[in-house]
Structure 1
Amino acid sequence: MMPNATKETVLEQLVATAIRAPSGDNTQPWHFVLDRGRNRIAVYVDEAKDRSPMNAGQHMAAIACGAAVENMLRMAGDRGWEARLEARSDAALAVISLEHAGEDGDANGKAEETIASRVTNRRLYDGRPTSPELLARLKSETPVLENVSTHWIDGPERLLQLASVMGRADGLIYSEKPRRRAILSHIRFDAACDAEVEDGLSVSSLEASAAELIAIRTMFRGPNWLFKLSGAPHLLGLRACKLVKSASGLCMVVAPEAPRTPYMDLLVGRAMQRAWLSLHASGLAVQPMMSLVVLESLLNQGDPELMGSHEDEISRALCTEFRALIPEVGNGRPAFLMRFGFAPPPSGRTGRRLLSAVTTVVSS
């Protein structure tokens, strides 16, 4: 539990909680401007942190910032502080304004503890089903958020069908060298395997075998023809398929088809983080499975440089097949997807950059 808050420390405490949010490959694409005079925090997307094809349009970065915002709102509520979220039309993605933030009040610390211990678990899960009571509680804790809805998918037959298309999408994501290069650049082979690296992914957090790590370091750097000839895309797809099959279920966040604005991405991030924290508090392991969502995003960008030759047609077919299996989407679009289930703790986790690296303090 943090010490009693003062006007000089409240904002820093909130941002320290915000940066525990998940982000693609732990890129942490956010920056916070702390206005102590007005007791406000402005949230910005740091576009320089992730320029990979998977973050085309900075959609994944804005989603990560949304998760960070959700962390701050939860901590404020836990502390009994009054926090107001304002969407912004200028460069800031959002602003959080605080009132009555001088005391801890009836804080119980549960939100902070859950946020701090939340982690990505890439292990195989044990396939155990979740109880109807648990699913009902998860649904009740993830209501619709400004037209962004959260859906829970379970049942072995549905997971088997979805595992096939999700596995093929994973193989396709790795089939182009720019995307492989981006993924490889975020794996911290330069650090100890179990180090909680401040930026990027620790090797142990990948849950990869020694042979798989060698393949990642060698084949990911090779030309496309060699990568495809080796059968690596198929093997990576099979691995993703196996991961989905081992899950108890999938959690899907659905957003409206339009508008695809940064603020809508922020709402997706908030909804995703709500679900993840509820799952974690219930003792369940979680891993984002975003290949299909990324493929849809790449298609919508309409930039031929982001898609490989003949990849456009294959991607559209996969996305169409996926949508046919998830009627929950309705007239919306799948905006975030993660698997959940029961598993031992992960072999490793990641750290975060220093607070000073992601904040600017002003006094107005």
Structure 2
Amino acid sequence: MPLAEWIGHRTTNRAPGTATPLAGPDAAALTRCAQESGALLDLVTERDGLEEVGRILGAGDRLRIMSPALHRDMMAEIRWDDEEVRRTRDGIDVATLQLDRTDLAGITIARHWPNLAFIRRIGGGASFEEGARKLVAASSAIGVLSVPGTTPDAYARGGRALQRLWLTATSRGLVVQPLTALLYLLARVERGGGAGLDPQEIAALRALHTRLAKILPHRPDHAELILVRLSYAPPPAVRSLRRDVGSCLRFAGPEGA
């Protein structure tokens, strides 16, 4: 079946996996797909490596939630009820996070910055690391897709490679969840001068970068496009809505055409 036939099936699946090892043929197909698209896919499949990646991503989540500016951006992505989901048709429907009651209560409290200001002052918030740890522990693999170069053209080529990779994973019964926020923060420190981050946050991110580079190769001349967790799991119970193409895409042409 052509990859295009899987576009309607492609989705983000945030359900925990079963920690089933990534099958060799699936790993080979994903790696080959990336290479054929001019990209590189680095996979972590060993349990020790996955556990460390989970700890690193968890620490990144904690930093993001406990930073006033990053917290604001993070919470702005979430759609909190059905009315908001239908009205905006973008962002992350909170139902797609598939949280249990305890975790849902926690993120609802964390939604409002005043609830976190005191926790930040005393250096708390360790519980915010648990979500990523549990998700990665239940995964089959973690993958990082990168392309040579850091120019806009490189990112455009990377977008095509990402589309093909996601569709290939879908065609092989793998579910995909991006966990990319930390990569973007690391790039902001490395190539963006740490804009919007305070010195303590920059130092923490550099330490996390050092740890991550021991597991996943870091290539300064490559753009790291996305970090995903791959797993075998049932289809998601809820899918986020998306806008109609006509609301966000216009084709240039002769006036009146």
TM-score calculated relative to the size of structure 1: 0.62
CA separation of 1:342 and 1:279: change in aligned 2, threshold 3 A? same
Residue among 166, 179, 200 paired with 1:289: 179
C-alpha distance in structure 2 between counterparts of 1:215 and 1:130, whole Å: 32
Q: Does 1:169 align with 2:60?
A: yes
C-alpha distance in structure 2 between counterparts of 1:275 and 1:361, whole Å: 27
Residue among 354, 359, 363 paired with 2:244: 354
CA separation of 1:164 and 1:337: change in aligned 2, threshold 3 A? same
The superposition leaves residues 64-108 of structure 1 with CA deviations (integer Å, 9 ceiling, x where unpaired) of xxxxxxxxxxxxxxxxxxxxxxxxxxxxxxxxxxxxxxxxxxxx7
Residue 76 of structure 1 corresponds to: none
SS for the counterpart of 1:255 is: strand
Residue 324 of structure 1 corresponds to: 214
C-alpha distance in structure 2 between counterparts of 1:282 and 1:193, whole Å: 33
Residues 272-283 of structure 1: matches in 2 within 5 Å?
Answer: 272-283=162-173
Residue segments in structure 2 that go unaligned for 5+ positions in a row: none
CA separation of 1:352 and 1:194: change in aligned 2, threshold 3 A? closer
C-alpha distance in structure 2 between counterparts of 1:186 and 1:163, whole Å: 22
Residue 40 of structure 2 corresponds to: 149
The superposition leaves residues 112-147 of structure 1 with CA deviations (integer Å, 9 ceiling, x where unpaired) of 43111111111111000122222222222221544x
The superposition leaves residues 2-29 of structure 1 with CA deviations (integer Å, 9 ceiling, x where unpaired) of xxxxxxxxxxxxxxxxxxxxxxxxxxxx
Contact in 1 for aligned 2:176/2:231 (Cα 8 Å): yes
Residue 240 of structure 1 corresponds to: 132
Residue 341 of structure 1 corresponds to: 231
For 1:283, give the aligned amino acid: G
Residue 29 of structure 1 corresponds to: none
C-alpha distance in structure 2 between counterparts of 1:263 and 1:359, whole Å: 20
Tell me how far 1:194 sits from its aligned partner: 8.3
C-alpha distance in structure 2 between counterparts of 1:149 and 1:193, whole Å: 38
Q: Does 1:213 align with 2:104?
A: yes
CA RMSD of aligned residues (A): 2.6
CA separation of 1:292 and 1:222: change in aligned 2, threshold 3 A? closer
CA separation of 1:230 and 1:274: change in aligned 2, threshold 3 A? farther
C-alpha distance in structure 2 between counterparts of 1:204 and 1:231, whole Å: 30
CA separation of 1:138 and 1:145: change in aligned 2, threshold 3 A? closer
Residues 72-111 of structure 1: matches in 2 within 5 Å?
Answer: 110-111=2-3
Tell me how far 1:245 sits from its aligned partner: 1.2
Tell me how far 1:239 sits from its aligned partner: 1.1
Residue among 192, 195, 203 paired with 1:313: 203
For 2:42, give the aligned amino acid: H
Identity of paired residues, percent?
Answer: 25
Contact in 2 for aligned 1:292/1:319 (Cα 8 Å): no
C-alpha distance in structure 2 between counterparts of 1:235 and 1:173, whole Å: 13
Residue segments in structure 1 that go unaligned for 5+ positions in a row: 1-107
Judging by fraction of residues, say which structure has more helix.
2
Q: Does 1:187 align with 2:78?
A: yes
C-alpha distance in structure 1 between counterparts of 2:13 and 2:162, whole Å: 16
Residue 200 of structure 1 corresponds to: 91
Q: Give the greater-gyration-radius structure (CA).
A: 1
Tell me how far 1:192 sits from its aligned partner: 5.2
Tell me how far 1:226 sits from its aligned partner: 2.3
Tell me how far 1:207 sits from its aligned partner: 1.3
CA separation of 1:180 and 1:331: change in aligned 2, threshold 3 A? closer
CA separation of 1:362 and 1:294: change in aligned 2, threshold 3 A? closer
CA separation of 1:244 and 1:322: change in aligned 2, threshold 3 A? same
CA separation of 1:274 and 1:160: change in aligned 2, threshold 3 A? same
User: After the TM superposition, which of the residue ranges 262-271 and 226-235 deviates more from structure 2?
Assistant: 226-235
